[in-house]
Structure 1
Amino acid sequence: MLKNCFYEGMTEAGCDEAGRGCLAGSVFAAAVILPPGYHNELLNDSKQLSEKSRYALREVIQKEAVAWAVGIVTPEEIDKVNILNASILAMHRALDQLKVRPEAVIVDGNRFKPYRDIPYSTIVKGDGKYLSIAAASILAKTYRDDYMRQLDAEYPQYDWKGNKGYPTKKHREAIKTHGATPYHRRTFNLLGDTQLSLVFKEE
């Protein structure tokens, strides 16, 4: 059973990101503050849930959370600051948008940078341990999936509605055939080898 909070007696925001390992698209992150003593036995790490369950839980989270927000960092920004810094920046942007100021932050994973002067803790596999991080993982995942479906309508040959920008064989074959799009991350190894310079067309 997932725990309610890490910092007892404090208004705590859970944070998680989605899309860090993708070849294309923005990285998304969410921040969620749940009510004190909140319980929902269906909440879990988004990767452990079906797509239908994730979207159903998104509605519940948005209705029942004290506050929630989603932050986005674009492919251009990812290439400038690297994906780790971009993931943290997306979390900071989500925290910036919360309508309630958190007194503490808990983050999935083992890397974060201080947010203002608020205490924080990084928790490996936190999305499977704490409700607010699990809720954040669901929001980040579903909003990013919606975004990748929109991009798929623009570039259907890359199957982004199916792979969501992750490095599947079909995705890499499409990059070899059609080249890279403006949504691809130029600093990533798009072909799974060293041929980075071959997939970007002259501008």
Structure 2
Amino acid sequence: MAKSPARTSHDSRNRGTIERSFLKQGLKILGVDEVGRGCIAGPVYAACVSLNYDALKSLDTKTRALIRDSKTLSTAQRQRMIPILHQVCRDWAIGFSSVSEIEEQGIVPATFQAMLRAYETMKESHDLLLIDGKHLNPMLPIRQEAIIGGDGLCFAIAAASILAKEARDDFMRQAALNFPHYDFHENVGYGTKSHLTAMEARGITPLHRRNFAPVTRYAELGHYFSTTI
């Protein structure tokens, strides 16, 4: 698969321009994005999205403006957008790689695998996949376009970002019920101060990535979670 150069732009007014250029060529396009790559606990998630662009156009301006990088939205905004995205998606799918897979393969291959799992669940074939960032996914058997800042430039990537983020956050909120001292419902696996303090006091859980610092140090010391603390 031939590689294409990464595109980049930081002007939000350009959102959708790249997609329109491909749609005018008659191409069926997908967007893909990952969530959780930089966490120290929990799986990495990815979503793949095929948008109905006519339905997208029918949204009011304020609602359409919320289809952007999931990190710029509040939890309430993302949750409000989920049913709307379901309405404007022709198809969408979620994939993930587990903590053990992240430890065995490394985060980059595990992220690519999560994307592959989402892609393979899509019902229809497509011509082009738009991927956030500067790296293409060697596991995906489809022409790809890498777009730096793609979740701020392409509606399909942004929609994938939101769907993946909420799916992963929901997983971590459920995990917080089993490990209530780590604030997973708030930090969703990122290394916040309270999260690091909990690891120091109570050890690491099966959800912690032992190949990520500072988790590695606690794993080497045998400092594992105990319900008796």
* 1:42-191 paired onto structure 2 within 5 Å: 42-190=66-214
Deviation at 1:47, TM superposition (A): 1.1
Deviation at 1:76, TM superposition (A): 0.1
Provide the C-alpha distance between the structure 2 equivalents of 1:46 and 1:201, rounded to a whole number of angstroms.
32
Once the two structures are aligned, what percentage of the paired residues are identical? Answer: 37
Deviations 1:22-78 (A, max 9, x none): 111110100000024533333111111121111111111112201000001000000
- The structure number with the bigger radius of gyration is 2
Give aligned pairs, total: 201
- Taking structure 2 as the reference length, the TM-score comes to 0.82
Higher helix share: 2
Pairwise CA RMSD of aligned residues?
Answer: 1.9
Provide the C-alpha distance between the structure 2 equivalents of 1:65 and 1:111, rounded to a whole number of angstroms.
25
Secondary structure of the corresponding residue to residue 80 of structure 1:
helix
Provide the C-alpha distance between the structure 1 equivalents of 2:139 and 2:209, rounded to a whole number of angstroms.
26
CA contact (8 A) 1:15 1:106 kept: yes
CA contact (8 A) 1:176 1:199 kept: no
Amino acid at match of 2:33: D
Residues 13 and 115 from structure 1, CA distance in 2 versus in 1: closer, same or farther, beyond 3 angstroms?
farther
Gap runs ≥5 in structure 2: 1-12, 58-63
Amino acid at match of 2:37: R
Deviations 1:86-133 (A, max 9, x none): 111111111111112221101111123235531101111100000000
Residues 42 and 201 from structure 1, CA distance in 2 versus in 1: closer, same or farther, beyond 3 angstroms?
closer
Deviation at 1:199, TM superposition (A): 5.0
Provide the C-alpha distance between the structure 2 equivalents of 1:200 and 1:96, rounded to a whole number of angstroms.
38
- Aligned structure 1 segments of 4 or more residues deviating by more than 3 angstroms: 36-39, 114-117, 193-196, 199-202
- Taking structure 1 as the reference length, the TM-score comes to 0.92
Gap runs ≥5 in structure 1: none
Deviation at 1:85, TM superposition (A): 1.2
Provide the C-alpha distance between the structure 1 equivalents of 2:116 and 2:69, rounded to a whole number of angstroms.
21
